[in-house]
Structure 1
Amino acid sequence: MRTNHEIAIIDPNTLSCIGLKSILENIIPHATIRTFHSFGDFIDDTPDMYFHYFVSASIYLAHNFFFNSRNEKTIVLGNDNQQVLLSTAQTLVVNQPEEKLVKDILKLHHHGHPHKHLHKKVPETELTPREIEVLILMVKGNINKEIADKLNISPTTVITHRKNITDKLGIKSVSALTIYAVMNGYIEPNRI
């Protein structure tokens, strides 16, 4: 039975909330993700029901009395300049390219987060061994022709495998497929 985790994003920046919510919905499709633009709005809800808190650095610093006691559930959204200030918290640097951001989310999950089962999506249909090989080469950045050459199959067959993978998993972006591959143990984050 699937657990429907609830995740809170607490950030006064509307665009950041929308973007992070979209990324998390791709990574954790069965989670309920709520956004709050202030700590007050968040506290007025039921804050302890959340499995994770993604919180802006400014709100974290202003209300660290709340988040310090929930450190294992808290991920601070910061930038390069704030990392020293936030060295005691799990920090996700948000002002970086999407590919690096996704890798950092994966590393944070893989190495620093106690809830390793959270992001794992159970596919309705299992991937075949060949689809897994194609998936691994995709997330390593290989194009269709390179995948075809490495697996001794035609580029058309690679395209068919890619289509089958996205249909089975319901995941279309390479970033989300990368997360799926790491969460399911098909590839280590440092091999991407």
Structure 2
Amino acid sequence: KNSGLIERSLVSGLTVFEVIISQLVVQMIMLVVQATTTFIFQFAIFKHSFLSFWIWPFSLAILQGLCGSFIGLATSIIFDDEKTTTFFGICMVLSQVFLSGIMWPIEGMNPYLKKVTMYLPLTKSIEAIRSLNARNWEISHPVVWQGFISILTWIVVAILITMLSLRLKHGIKAKR
């Protein structure tokens, strides 16, 4: 963004859709490599229990990464200042880690906070991965498919915010 790459691409004739697709392709390649490496270490090397068919938790991991990538892209477009973007990103990551059931169980939260966490991007998909891996629940179980629906909804919301931000910005400004 600072070098004006997106602005030059849009001026040269690329559409917002093409910018989003190019980001999607690059992010998918990186996410597949990261998720594959994580799964190899977690389940093949460290022998973590793995009760379900591997493709469903792997798909959820890819979708979670994709959601984070698009939220990050939207954030970088919305905020002009690098420090603000970084601060917002750190706040998003820390809130997800502590409020989505990754580090702190949802069952131990204040009832009011628990209601709020159900609307965060990773909460339901983390529970779905946990249910697939540890409980051997099928994709047809409500907890599992709700995890997929939740993360897919957040991906669509992040893409729409990204597209809307690109359209509403009067040129993505590069630093001078």
> Considering the TM-score relative to the shorter chain, is it more than 0.5?
no
Instruction: Tell me the TM-score normalised to structure 1 length.
Output: 0.25
Point out the structure with the larger helix share. 2
Instruction: Tell me the TM-score normalised to structure 2 length.
Output: 0.27
Point out the structure with the larger strand share. 1
